[in-house]
Amino acid sequence: MRLLNRSAGRLSRHRRGPIAGLVVLLMGLLMTGGLYAAFAPAQADSTQSQEELVREGRELFIVGCAFCHGQNGEGVLTQGGDQYGPALTDVGAAAVDFQVGTGRMPMAAPGAQAPRKEVVYTDDEIAALSAYVASLGTGPSVPDAELYDPDTLSEAEYDEYVTRGGQIFLANCTACHNFEGSGGAMPRGGVAPKIRGVDPKYIYEAMLTGPQSMDTFSDGNIPPEDKKAVIAYLDTLDEQPSYGGLTLGSLGPVSEGLIAWLIGIGGLVGFAIWIAAHTTRTSRTKDGADA
């Protein structure tokens, strides 16, 4: 202990020396570099695997996507000039991760909108496809969990985020996705999907990339922190008390009207039929009555 103190003391004598700053700087650089080398994945390997990933992704792309999106992701136009499959040159990895990761792509049939369905590709394949499409041009990359996962927030932060997220949600999302995120109808057969119970990553990516008819909410539009706040708010929606009883899917007048007409008025019709029905009769006659 004394030895340690003594050497520390000796070192301390040099702390105001002319080269002390330089030494500290060098040591800092050395440490950062060393730590990085120790913990970061090996650079050479990573480039190699990135190239490999892109190559693998291209193979998958040619088989599964090129028919509509073109062999180099340049998009395909119909003879009428409409888009058969849009160009993927600047959509980024996030768009692929969202579309393929939620099963929207590959589309089963052409239509107004690609619906959410069973996922066809494995996670590795999705990563490869994302890497390939990202290599075609610009566009947002797949976000880190740090950006979207509300579980990374402390309890006090969480409440603050939920409050803020609720306001942003009301201003920006409710028009299409309904006041409780239950989704709604859009023009020409489209639909704004239900966004409750969706993996936070996909909500983040959807905001970032604006899938299909949805507007983009890029980081310049709604900053990442605020996106996370919206996700935190959505996270709490399912736990909100419904004092009014059954929510009927939180779809507003659509499901409420349906129930009122079918069950309410249907029940009334049933009672009316019962009221007007004939009562049981007997072949016996009342004693002394004239039949």
Q: Which of 18, 41, 80, 241 binds another protein (CB under 8 A)?
A: 241
| 249-258: long-range pairs with CB below 8 Å, 24+ | 249/182, 250/178, 250/179, 250/180, 250/182, 251/178, 251/182, 251/184, 252/178, 252/179
Q: Which of 72, 89, 135, 218 binds another protein (CB under 8 A)?
A: 218
Non-local CB neighbours of 124 within 8 Å, separated by 6+ positions: none
What is the rounded distance in angstroms from the CA atom of residue 194 to the CA atom of residue 249? 10
Q: Taking CB under 8 A as the rule, does residue 245 contact another protein?
A: yes
Nearer Cβ to another protein, position 28 or 270? 270
- Per CB under 8 A, the list member of 246, 253, 273, 288 interacting with another protein is 246
- Are the beta carbons of 255 and 248 closer than 8 angstroms? yes
Q: Nearest approach, Cβ of 220 to another protein (angstroms)? A: 3
Closest approach of another protein to the CB of residue 17, in Å: 46
Q: How long a stretch of residues is the chain? A: 291
Decide: is 210 part of the binding site for another protein (CB under 8 A).
yes
The site that binds another protein (CB under 8 A) totals a number of residues, namely 46
Nearer to another protein, 64 or 252 (CB): 252
Does 171 sit near another protein (CB under 8 A)? yes
The Cα 70–Cα 74 span in angstroms is 5
Q: Work out the angle at residue 228's Cα, subtended by the Cα atoms of residues 176 and 217, and round it to the nearest 5 degrees.
A: 45
- Provide the pairing of β-strand 191-192 with 184-185: antiparallel
Structure tokens at 46: 């990573």
Say whether residue 205 binds another protein (CB under 8 A): no
* 216 in contact with another protein (CB under 8 A): yes
Residue ranges in 250-289 that form contacts with another protein under rule CB under 8 A: 271, 274-275, 279-287, 289
Among 187, 189, 253, 288, binds another protein (CB under 8 A): 187
C-alpha 145/C-alpha 131 separation (Å) is: 18
Taking CB under 8 A as the rule, does residue 89 contact another protein?
no
Could you write out the DSSP letters of every residue in 149-178? Answer: -GGGS-HHHHHHHHHHHHHHHHHHTHHHH-
Q: Rank residues 2 and 286 by Cβ distance to another protein and give the closer one.
A: 286
Judged by the rule CB under 8 A, the positions of this chain that interact with another protein are 164, 167-168, 170-172, 175-176, 184, 186-187, 190, 210, 212-218, 220-223, 226, 241-246, 271, 274-275, 279-287, 289-291
